[in-house]
Amino acid sequence: MADCDHAFGTRYERVDAGETATLYVHGEVDLAEGPRFAEAVRRTLDRPRTEVGVDLADVTFMDSSGLQVLLNARRTVTARNTEFVLVAPSIPVLRILDLCCLTDLFDIRERFAGGRAPQPT
C-alpha cells in the first residue's frame, strides 16, 4: 500500500510491506516544510511496525527542523523496539548529521529491504 503527499515542492511516498514501511522523501526539508515532514513521519509510525526506513536519497536540503523530526522519530521507534533506518541519505543530509555529530546515532544504510523503489514522476 502506498501513500503519497505532494502539495508543493517536497513530496512524500510511503510504501507498506507487512510490518515494514519505507517513507521516501523528495525535495527540501526546512523550517517551512518541517510540519509536513513531521506529519508524514507520524503517519508512517501510526501502525505498529518492526522496521521503518526513511529514504533520504532525493533530499536536496535539510536544516535542523528536519533533523529534529528524525530525532523524534528515532526516539519514538526505539521505545517500541522498532528498527529505524536512514536509507541512502544525500550529501546535504549527511552534512547536517555530521555537523551535529549525530552520524553514529542513526542506523544508516545504502539499501533497505522494506518497500519498493518509488516510481518516477
* Residue 12 falls inside a structural domain: yes
**The domain spanning residue 62 has which CATH number?**
3.30.750.24
* Residue 19 falls inside a structural domain: yes
Per-residue tens of pLDDT for the chain, all 121 residues = 455 554 558 999 999 988 999 999 999 999 999 999 999 999 999 988 999 999 999 999 999 999 999 999 999 999 999 999 999 999 999 999 999 999 999 999 988 776 445 544 4
* Residue 114 falls inside a structural domain: no
Q: Which domain holds residue 64?
A: 2-109
Domain total for the chain? 1
Q: Which residues pair with 4 in a beta bridge?
A: 13
* Residue 89 falls inside a structural domain: yes
* Residue 24 falls inside a structural domain: yes
* Residue 119 falls inside a structural domain: no
Show contacts of 76-84: CB within 8 Å, 24+ apart: 76/45, 77/45, 77/49, 77/52, 80/48, 82/48, 82/49, 82/50, 82/51, 82/52, 83/50, 83/51, 83/52, 83/107, 84/51, 84/52, 84/53, 84/54
